[in-house]
Amino acid sequence: MTTWLSALAGGVLIGLAATLLLWLNGRVAGVSGIFNGVIFPNKGDVAWRYAFLIGLIVAGGAYMAFVPGAPLPRTDYSRTALLAAGLLVGFGTRMGNGCTSGHGVCGLARLSLRSFVAVLTFMATAMATTFLVKHVLS
């Protein structure tokens, strides 16, 4: 499968999953919010969250296991750097009141101005970070 075709298929599947979660469960597919609901659960609102998160992990593992030439995760990062990055991402999703999936997939689809500003901020920060790491610090 060509790169653009697999990217298109992935985007369609993400959009379909987000749409089905909203239609069938009345919930937005923002991964940080779903994870937050597992960490700080409300009674009767946990099972679907676990199912969603387990589905993300299983689908990623299945893709790596069954698709020839699928990219594998990098293993050359220090655990300390990964922990720091995870904490920074968690802090950022709290500050931004959502993550890239919530704002980028669901918020933009609902034409949310707040999500549009958040996605612009995510993208600008990602570009600046990549430039710094690749061209200034290396």
Q: What is the pLDDT of residues 31-84, one digit of tens each?
A: 888 998 999 999 989 999 999 999 999 998 998 999 888 888 888 889 999 899
Instruction: Tell me the C-alpha distance between 80 and 55, whole Å.
Output: 27
pTM of the complete model = 0.78
Nearby residues of 34 by Cβ (< 8 Å), 6 or more positions away:
27, 49, 52, 53
Which letter does DSSP use for residue 75 in this model?
Answer: -
63 close to 70: Cβ distance less than 8 angstroms:
yes
In percent, the amount of the chain with pLDDT more than 90 equals 46
- Give the domain extent around 98: 3-136
Number of Cβ within 10 Å of residue 67's Cβ equals 11
Count of the separate structural domains present in the chain: 1
